[in-house]
Structure 1
């Protein structure tokens, strides 16, 4: 665990430059706007250790996975988010000597990510080998307002010299991914041109043939005024730049303003992309850096107005929750239903940048409560539009009759995960997608979604589960064989409790959804039955038989649900008894040893209890929590938040707070020694869940909003805002009081500590705790 990020409520601050931490900081200080983003690489040349990353949403490469041990049904490729054209490059030479923090002596250094303003600022003073000392301040952002654009102000001030500075502002398409095989590069050049003061570079991905057109405009200012210099254009393969040479004096600041755009063929026809890039570049250049930065601050103010969480008395906790919320908004804005939330967002390449079940299980509730309803609906529509591919995925594995298996990892609906025990066995992801439809309908009250989109998806998923189980003569029950649950430290197990539980829940919910649509829109139901060739009596009758006769492993003596058959055959060792030198297991132990151990990567049984807590009494939840948590190593970023929420429900504030801090500062403090690969974006939604569902006790029951707030000992108070069915409510919890503020024109019934209260429009309600 690292501890070098300064604690500050609205800023992420690094002081001093340690090159060994640079890749971690590149992840932490990443910026984005939902359409494009980048790691916090330096603008100037840096020859030290770095992981370059510029990313454009929706652009990927299908890396081939076929190998000697190929199996039927195995994915054809592993989709990779691609490192795209590097638009931030500003190469600087001082009197012929290149500026490079790896070769110069860094005298002062700071990096600040301002979460209110949406800007990244880096300041440093460096002594070059020649003895020349200069200061640099670089401010940049990816615009939320113009979401295909970014801007940089790079200011240079000589401290002890005068002379000449040469500047090369570039677009570099000669890039590769860190994990590319044999240093393969995935881009080919289409064109590069200069047009007046603009430099343009259009690149195409191999195989997938995505085009990305990038453009830059660079201005040089001194003493606050433009010099009016015309650039010299330089080009080579996959590279174009604008060169300037300026005379500088001691103490006089030279400012480089760089404007850039990245347009994708996902949004434009290829023959018009270059013209569109020019038009977009003209638009932002006309605005200028100051206006763009002002608009950026206003846009972020709007985000925080709807979704801030305020914690008083604990700066580390406050900084952490805002950092997680900030990164979620940088990654996904919900304006394009073709896009989704990659586990690393725009901060790194690990996991391919594709869509996982994390979105439905963890991210959807955040957007339901903090964004317009259409944002959450677009996350569901993303899956609806990929239903045909999910049916194809199931067919490849031998399933029939419209059974749908959604992929574990995908870019376009096809399965592209390259580990067989995940691809074939971690099928609980189907359940998370069904649960998201239920969660959306429960939260919004929008049952119309079921008729229009949701029921068709549910039928496909239910058909899969009905074919995936089989009848056991020995147990005289239906069983689920050969699966991997959320705990990926177990593979190919039988009767994983969570998978079986969510499977039968899906069958029950689909039957309920059919009845809802039947009463709401019988014409639409008839259309759906015809489209899916659905035989209601036959299929729902079989589903009900599975529901009634499903086998679930339990241990009566301990009073717990067994994670899977034979779990208690394992040597039962607690995590607290593991030597510190053995952690993390996934970096220290062989896979064979992990699989034979009792240790759990993340919530498994407890994931099911979290989803379906209303089905279990408090003592059942407590017994399972007290048994499984001590055996959980939390080596998944998705693990601590679920444990925090359940601990809060059990009134265990110490453990709830411990897990909240762990999930919220997972990347800021590099808990798992893997932040350098990129941030854990999808688990960041779990940080919000830990506060709102954990400490706030927020639940939706029978169409009503329920709260059961508790206050961690280290906090003076906390407050969060939620949008619920056209109402906007701020909840503030202190030691002796819960204050509710309805900031809308909608009256709302709200339940606090089990008692119903009428919260009138535009009114406050104060309750003693």
Structure 2
């Protein structure tokens, strides 16, 4: 029998299914509080019990004693424990002050377009507590940035913990903090309700006289803020060009020498105005009436449903399995609401890049989100669609037709890209806003991909202007020479180490794809014919004799330097070599040409993936967090999964190990979305083509199997991939093609033998 004092906060398992009335009444009371109690009956069920379960042997007096203690602790507001399953939990000790802000980013929790950094409850100089809302900015132009709202997690803790542990439970979406010294350690648990977006909850406990609730809401630095009390609830509002309002309720209780604090809050925000405090009172009262334990229970139920629909199993690589789950968790926490979703490069985990929206959202995050929550992927497309007017104005300002989307976007779709910055402490001009125009085609691609993956063709018809207006832009942007060939001059490709180049292969081929995609959807036969003719004339730099695409005109004439000549990748080669020296070489920041094989494989020459991997792989510095995951996906697709695996590991550890030294400013959502793409589209070999789910897996030699769950074509899909077969489960009939073996309709489940990749 386990030490009951160590298990009073744990998940409870009761062996047996028939109980005397005293036990049944206690079980019913705990379930009413939202406590999860499993009952088992029979030898087979008992054999499934794990070492983490609390097993009661059925003795009535003993069972009553444990259940009574559970009831008492919940009635006093004690902090519940989590199931510390190493396959589902991240742990960090707070001893290293240099890593403190990284931990805050890593342990961000969020839901429904609001997120709270994992800052400690007490004030400390190296802490950046912050509550952010999707699409809620302040400032103008390049200075426009995400606006911070009232902080709901602060407590008065004196003395502050000097040794603590943070445990993020991915399975239930809860963050536990516990002091590792002292007779009465400080403990806290918080979550952002996945069941009631905007509702957040905190419980904390510590020695009486040491822990006090203090103000339920505290104002962030900067901005215009007001606060007050209404109907016994504290409210706070931050007002600038946007508004964020919070209303909170809290209470303190005592359990012997332990002081407990319980706090609930409701968050609301708007680009122009947020609901007033009075409008949030009913939501807060509903949450208060339900109570912390029941709020936690329904929150856990939502997370259970999420993981039932989307998950990964890599039995031979538990560290990769956990890191992928962390990526999926933070994508759910950081990507906004189902209205429209503005997804900045660092999500809502920090103010890195000011929260501006880049191509990261369209190309790296959205394809991942479409496999997790299709409605949210549609909301990401709608963020762009609702800013078409600004894109049209930008095209007119450049003397072009159609719509030109900005490199960095915020509230209204205006270009908010800075014009200068620093590289290695030296001021440098930033030219991406003026020249990195491929984002316009990327926006169109995101809308098309969303329609293809979800199977919602009506969605694309309703947003057809995204494809048409961007095609009109490229039609006016192309320069046609005397021989009838179309060129695009003076651009920056994804590489970004080489500026103001002509005929960048990625930009040109994406523009060509954009023209053809719009031609297939437009209602204007005349424009369709013109766009197809122009697309056929766009130069792409392909060398038929080698299969390699020249990254841009003149690239092959540069110094043929590879990364291994100067450093080990990943490396910020621009800092190492300097901008001018680097621009004279063939070293590139990220897989520029290779991105075409990832996004539009039907738009490049058949058989060109491998020669381009062989040529550009050694030249890629992976100086961008976007780079390793896509390279991993393409290596896997090329049948080289063992080469792909180290790059996948880099992508997954970018934030967990702070490889770039910038995680303190927020998580790299694109790297997380890219890592999930590498697993699902690369190793599992999943694609959608004309309404058919195609599966062509290639696993590393160290993986005996891979399991993935995801959403696709309106279905919930589960794949179990082994050396010899693929097992598929679906919740509705689905057309499937495995390893090119021909299309079959799967209903329920099926086992399909894998054909040899040789």
Shorter-chain TM-score tier: 0.7 to 0.9
More displaced 10-residue stretch of structure 1: 728-737 or 289-298:
728-737
Report matched runs for 1:199-210 at 5 Å.
Answer: 199-205=234-240, 208=241, 210=242
Instruction: Show the counterpart of 1:260.
Output: 265
Aligned partners of 2:155 and 2:212 also within 8 Å: no
In the alignment, structure 1 residue 112 sits paired with structure 2 residue 190: no
Instruction: Show the counterpart of 2:193.
Output: 143
Q: Deviations over 1:121-155 (max 9, x none)?
A: 1111457xxxxx75111111111122112111111
User: C-alpha separation between the residues in 2 aligned to 1:84 and 1:126?
Assistant: 33
Q: Determine which of 503, 507, 512 is the counterpart of 2:515.
A: 507
Instruction: Show the counterpart of 1:195.
Output: 230
Cα distance, 1:727–1:198 mapped onto 2, change above 3 Å = closer
User: C-alpha separation between the residues in 2 aligned to 1:582 and 1:679?
Assistant: 18
Cα distance, 1:125–1:631 mapped onto 2, change above 3 Å = same
- Unaligned 5+ residue runs, structure 2? 1-83, 420-429
TM superposition shift of 1:217? 1.7
Aligned partners of 1:310 and 1:720 also within 8 Å: yes
TM superposition shift of 1:360? 2.0
Q: Deviations over 1:386-413 (max 9, x none)?
A: 111110111122224xx10012121222
Q: Determine which of 81, 84, 90 is the counterpart of 1:12.
A: 90
User: C-alpha separation between the residues in 2 aligned to 1:449 and 1:220?
Assistant: 50
Instruction: Show the counterpart of 2:317.
Output: 314
The TM-score, its normalising length taken from structure 1, stands at 0.81
Q: Determine which of 122, 133, 153 is the counterpart of 1:44.
A: 122
Aligned partners of 1:7 and 1:316 also within 8 Å: no
Aligned partners of 2:204 and 2:260 also within 8 Å: yes
Q: Determine which of 726, 733, 750 is the counterpart of 2:736.
A: 750
3-state SS of 1:634 partner: coil
Cα distance, 1:58–1:616 mapped onto 2, change above 3 Å = closer
Give the number of aligned pairs: 661
Q: Determine which of 586, 601, 617 is the counterpart of 1:629.
A: 617
TM superposition shift of 1:476? 5.3
Q: Which of 1 and 2 has higher RCO (CA within 8 Å, sep 6+)?
A: 1
Aligned partners of 2:137 and 2:271 also within 8 Å: no
Q: Determine which of 111, 118, 134 is the counterpart of 1:57.
A: 134
Aligned partners of 2:216 and 2:249 also within 8 Å: no
Report matched runs for 1:205-216 at 5 Å.
Answer: 205=240, 208=241, 210-216=242-248
The TM-score, its normalising length taken from structure 2, stands at 0.83
Aligned partners of 1:334 and 1:379 also within 8 Å: no
TM superposition shift of 1:54? 1.6
More displaced 10-residue stretch of structure 1: 325-334 or 458-467:
325-334
Aligned partners of 1:370 and 1:721 also within 8 Å: no
3-state SS of 2:120 partner: coil
Instruction: Show the counterpart of 2:721.
Output: 733
User: C-alpha separation between the residues in 2 aligned to 1:7 and 1:299?
Assistant: 19
Aligned partners of 1:202 and 1:212 also within 8 Å: yes
Report matched runs for 1:690-709 at 5 Å.
Answer: 690-709=678-697
Instruction: Show the counterpart of 2:501.
Output: 493
In the alignment, structure 1 residue 80 sits paired with structure 2 residue 154: no
3-state SS of 1:8 partner: coil
Q: Determine which of 578, 583, 586 is the counterpart of 1:598.
A: 586
User: C-alpha separation between the residues in 1 aligned to 2:285 and 2:624?
Assistant: 45
Aligned partners of 1:341 and 1:682 also within 8 Å: no
Instruction: Show the counterpart of 1:446.
Output: 456
Q: Determine which of 17, 31, 34 is the counterpart of 2:109.
A: 31
TM superposition shift of 1:345? 1.1
Cα distance, 1:87–1:596 mapped onto 2, change above 3 Å = farther
Cα distance, 1:451–1:196 mapped onto 2, change above 3 Å = closer
TM superposition shift of 1:459? 1.7
Cα distance, 1:399–1:425 mapped onto 2, change above 3 Å = same
User: C-alpha separation between the residues in 2 aligned to 1:294 and 1:581?
Assistant: 45
User: C-alpha separation between the residues in 2 aligned to 1:117 and 1:442?
Assistant: 31
Q: Determine which of 356, 362, 365 is the counterpart of 1:363.
A: 365
Q: Deviations over 1:666-694 (max 9, x none)?
A: 21122222211110113311111111110
User: C-alpha separation between the residues in 2 aligned to 1:571 and 1:557?
Assistant: 21
Instruction: Show the counterpart of 1:552.
Output: 540
Q: Deviations over 1:529-585 (max 9, x none)?
A: 6xxxxxx52x44443342232222245664411111111222222212223599433
Aligned partners of 1:747 and 1:758 also within 8 Å: no
Cα distance, 1:568–1:254 mapped onto 2, change above 3 Å = same
3-state SS of 1:715 partner: coil
In the alignment, structure 1 residue 152 sits paired with structure 2 residue 202: yes
User: C-alpha separation between the residues in 2 aligned to 1:492 and 1:343?
Assistant: 24
Q: Determine which of 98, 122, 136 is the counterpart of 2:177.
A: 122
Aligned partners of 1:354 and 1:410 also within 8 Å: yes
Report matched runs for 1:660-671 at 5 Å.
Answer: 660-671=648-659
Aligned partners of 1:152 and 1:259 also within 8 Å: yes
TM superposition shift of 1:62? 2.6
Q: Deviations over 1:97-139 (max 9, x none)?
A: xx235xxxx3x42111100110111111457xxxxx7511111
TM superposition shift of 1:273? 1.1
More displaced 10-residue stretch of structure 1: 83-92 or 461-470:
83-92
User: C-alpha separation between the residues in 1 aligned to 2:575 and 2:218?
Assistant: 35
TM superposition shift of 1:596? 3.1
In the alignment, structure 1 residue 584 sits paired with structure 2 residue 572: yes
Q: Deviations over 1:329-359 (max 9, x none)?
A: 112255212x222211111101121222222
User: C-alpha separation between the residues in 1 aligned to 2:454 and 2:314?
Assistant: 27
